[in-house]
């Protein structure tokens, strides 16, 4: 009994730590309407940078907070490729992600960096007297609440409104004088900063950074966002971020149950991909109907008399 | 106010040469000019407005707004002095965002957007007052997402947003064409009101010839990328639609049946 409860607790921890990444994916995919594949590279980048800095003796808190700075630049690079060099958003993300693979290897020096003998943000908490059994849960809760609060406030600022308008009606906000190129670059940067922060925390949580740990991150993030939307309709900014967080926890719970049901861990990415495909196809059918309706409105306007 | 000098714009078509959407177009607008723009489908009316707004660059020629040469300025750098409303009510508003958020974005037209609160309490009162002037009850629905509004309400909001921060030039591209006749008329009356109250110049594209002569102070007709006719009050105020078509015939040596304008528009 205690064992099962412990397992569920672990799942909660995972859901929360990956929720930071899910909020990042929510920002790019929903707020900016930008399918951003940089995520598969910026997630391990956050892990790699934190691991390297921690091993180098940097304070874990500093190491953890430098990861999102690097993540921001990774995202901004994708934004620049897309807006300035006119490379399609998907390809721009793939290019950055591919480049980051080499960068991450350089940063780590090898494919896997164990963090078992270095201090981490978790051991810092434990030294302050927080019991090891709850330190991760406590930390991730605090991080998620802070991230959610900051993102919510940010999206309601003048700048945030313009950012949201890009995903909703780009030509309108441009006609209102917003440099949409710069906005997108900054927006994708912020999204990847969150992703990298999540990666840095995950590395310290699991005790290592690995070059392959980014594979499937963006799809897991999308799955979380989609599940979240189903549970909490994103009627406001706050509900959108809450949905991504909830979706992340539910997704990790679903993964846990799938494993319990006897799925091989190696099949999970297939299951996740199928889930996202199912959700997306449902959406595109809905969107198809929306387009038809809009056409009808246009045609209705053409009969006008002298 | 607005000065267009010899604008040329050619669109590359998939096969071969492409076609001239604007051929050596020159036009000068004084402050408070309200110009209606007519012409058959494909005449270049929308292209003219897009070129003024900087949506795409011209091949040659010069655009000057209020004494400043903006020919090479990107769209977002011209926004401060330009308001636009399009045919599709969806195009002028952000549907997933609330009425007050849409208003707030328009209120900051062409200004720096920082990290202060997007919709301040002070702005709200102002927005409420402005919305009340529409007489649609939108002032009580500030927090509602715009996508819940009807097409006419949404277009009224778009019009209000386009003029909220007092632009010098208002560009209207068939902004009542997608609405039912009654709503179209209401939006047109609202347009006339707003134009009368604020001192600004207007270019309004319409395919309703009678309307084109009934509102504004001047009418231009575009034909195959050129300005084929340009008549101003007081001469214009005497004209009927058939006079207009007659004048076109005299100017171009060809007939434009009024069906062609009306049905193709
Ligand atoms: N973005 C574009 N790309 C290619 N051709 C265009 C584009 N916009 C307009 N055109 C062409 O330019 C010509 C003028 O179009 P437009 O200005 O939209 O006409 P109007 O608004 O008077 O109906 C048309 O032949 C149209 O096909
Ligand atoms: Mg047009």
Instruction: Look at B106 and A294 and tell me if their CB atoms are within 8 Å.
Output: no
Q: Answer whether 0.95 is exceeded by the pTM.
A: no
C-alpha–C-alpha distance, residues A276 and A274, integer Å: 5
C-alpha–C-alpha distance, residues B90 and B184, integer Å: 15
Preceding amide of A39 cis, omega within 30: no
Work out how many domains chain A is built from and give that number.
1
Interface residue A306 vs chain B (CB under 8 A): yes
Percent of chain A with pLDDT over 70: 92
Contact yes or no for A20/A201 (Cβ under 8 A): yes
Percent of chain B with pLDDT over 90: 72
CATH code of residue A267: 1.10.3470
C-alpha–C-alpha distance, residues B58 and B47, integer Å: 10
Which of B9, B13, B21 for mutating ligand 1's site (highest number of atoms within 8 Å of CB)?
Answer: B21
Q: What are the pLDDT digits (tens) for B52-77?
A: 999 999 999 999 998 999 999 999 99
> Which residues of chain B neighbour A175 with C-beta distances below 8 Å?
53, 75-76, 79, 82, 84
pLDDT at residue B160 greater than cutoff 50: yes
The mean pLDDT of B166-182, rounded to a whole number, is 93
A230-245 as b/e: b if 16+ CB within 10 A:
eebebeebbbbbbbbb
> How many H-runs (helices) and E-runs (strands) does chain B carry?
9, 10
Interface residue A165 vs chain B (CB under 8 A): yes
pLDDT at residue B264 greater than cutoff 50: no
Provide the ipTM. 0.88
**pLDDT attached to residue A295:** 47
Exposure of A248 by Cβ count < 10 A (0-12 exposed, 13-18 middle, 19+ buried)?
buried
Q: What are the pLDDT digits (tens) for A213-262?
A: 999 999 999 999 999 999 999 989 999 999 999 999 999 999 999 888 88
- Residue B85, H or E segment: strand B82-85
C-alpha–C-alpha distance, residues A17 and A35, integer Å: 22
pLDDT at residue A297 greater than cutoff 60: no
* φ and ψ at residue A301, rounded to 5 degrees: -85, -5
Lining ligand 1 with CB less than 6 A are: B 11, 19, 21, 39, 41-47
> Which residues of chain B neighbour A177 with C-beta distances below 8 Å?
76-77, 79-80, 108-111
Q: What are the pLDDT digits (tens) for A1-10?
A: 577 788 889 9
Taking the CA of residue A134 and the nearest CA in chain B, the distance in Å comes to 36
**pLDDT attached to residue B198:** 79
Q: For residue A304, name the pLDDT band (cuts at 50, 70, 90).
A: very low
Q: Which of B83, B82, B106, B84 is nearest to B94 (CA)?
A: B106
The mean pLDDT of B100-106, rounded to a whole number, is 97
Domain layout of chain B by residue ranges = 2-263
Token pair in block for residue B42: 């494909």
Q: What are the pLDDT digits (tens) for A114-166?
A: 998 899 999 999 999 999 889 999 999 999 999 999 999 999 999 999 999 99
Structural fold of domain B2-263: Rossmann fold (3.40.50)
Q: For residue A269, name the pLDDT band (cuts at 50, 70, 90).
A: confident
Q: For residue B31, give every residue at least 6 positions away whose Cβ sits within 8 Å of its Cβ, in sequence order, or none.
A: B1, B168, B199, B200, B201
C-alpha–C-alpha distance, residues B116 and A291, integer Å: 36
């Amino acid at each position: 009994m205690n064992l099962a409860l412990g397992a569920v607790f672990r799942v909660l921890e995972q859901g929360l730590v990956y929720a930071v990444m899910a909020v990042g994916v929510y920002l790019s995919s929903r707020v900016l309407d930008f399918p951003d594949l940089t995520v598969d590279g910026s997630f391990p980048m956050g892990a790699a940078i934190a691991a390297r800095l921690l091993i180098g003796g940097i304070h874990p808190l500093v190491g953890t907070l430098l990861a999102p700075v690097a993540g921001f630049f990774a995202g901004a690079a994708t934004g620049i490729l897309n807006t300035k060099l006119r490379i399609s958003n998907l390809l721009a993300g793939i290019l950055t992600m591919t480049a980051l693979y080499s960068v991450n290897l350089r940063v780590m020096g090898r494919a896997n960096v164990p963090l078992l003998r270095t201090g981490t943000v978790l051991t810092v908490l434990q030294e302050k007297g927080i019991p090891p059994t709850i330190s991760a849960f406590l930390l991730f809760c605090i991080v998620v609440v802070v991230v959610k609060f900051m993102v919510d406030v940010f999206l309601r600022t003048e700048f945030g409104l313009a950012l949201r308008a890009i995903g909703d009606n780009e030509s309108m906000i441009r006609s209102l004088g917003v440099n949409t190129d710069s906005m997108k670059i900054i927006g994708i940067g912020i999204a990847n900063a969150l992703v990298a922060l999540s990666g840095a925390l995950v590395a310290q949580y699991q005790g290592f950074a690995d070059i392959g740990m980014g594979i499937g991150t963006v799809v897991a993030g999308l799955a979380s966002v989609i599940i979240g939307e189903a549970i909490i309709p994103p009627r406001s900014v706050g509900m959108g971020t809450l949905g991504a967080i909830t979706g992340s926890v539910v997704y990790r719970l679903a993964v846990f149950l799938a494993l319990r049901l006897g799925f091989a861990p190696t099949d999970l990415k297939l299951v996740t991909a199928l889930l996202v495909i199912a959700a997306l196809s449902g959406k595109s059918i809905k969107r198809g109907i929306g387009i038809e309706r809009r056409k009808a409105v246009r045609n209705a306007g053409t009969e006008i008399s002298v | 106010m607005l000065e267009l000098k010899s604008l040329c714009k050619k669109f590359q078509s998939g096969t071969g040469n492409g076609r001239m959407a604007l051929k050596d177009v020159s036009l000068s607008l004084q402050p408070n000019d309200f110009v209606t723009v007519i012409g058959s489908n494909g005449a270049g009316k929308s292209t003219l407005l897009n070129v003024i707004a900087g949506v795409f660059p011209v091949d040659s020629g010069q655009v000057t707004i209020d004494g400043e040469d903006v020919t090479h300025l990107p769209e977002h750098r011209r926004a401060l002095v330009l308001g636009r409303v399009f045919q599709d009510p969806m195009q002028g508003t952000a549907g997933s965002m609330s009425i007050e958020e849409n208003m707030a974005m328009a209120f900051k037209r062409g200004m720096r957007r920082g990290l202060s609160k997007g919709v301040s309490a002070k702005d709200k009162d102002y927005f409420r007052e402005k919305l009340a002037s529409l007489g649609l009850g939108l002032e009580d629905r500030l927090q509602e997402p715009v996508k819940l509004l009807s097409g006419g309400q949404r277009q009224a909001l778009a019009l209000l947003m386009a003029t909220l921060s007092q632009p010098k030039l208002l560009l209207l591209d068939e902004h009542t064409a997608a609405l039912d006749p009654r709503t179209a008329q209401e939006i047109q009356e609202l347009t006339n009101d707003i134009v009368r109250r604020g001192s600004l110049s207007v270019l309004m594209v319409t395919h309703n010839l009678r309307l084109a002569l009934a509102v504004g102070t001047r009418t231009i007709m575009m034909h195959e990328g050129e300005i084929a006719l340009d008549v101003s009050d007081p001469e214009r105020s005497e004209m009927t639609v058939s006079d207009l078509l007659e004048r076109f015939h005299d100017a171009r040596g060809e007939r434009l049946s009024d069906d062609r304008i009306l049905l193709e528009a």
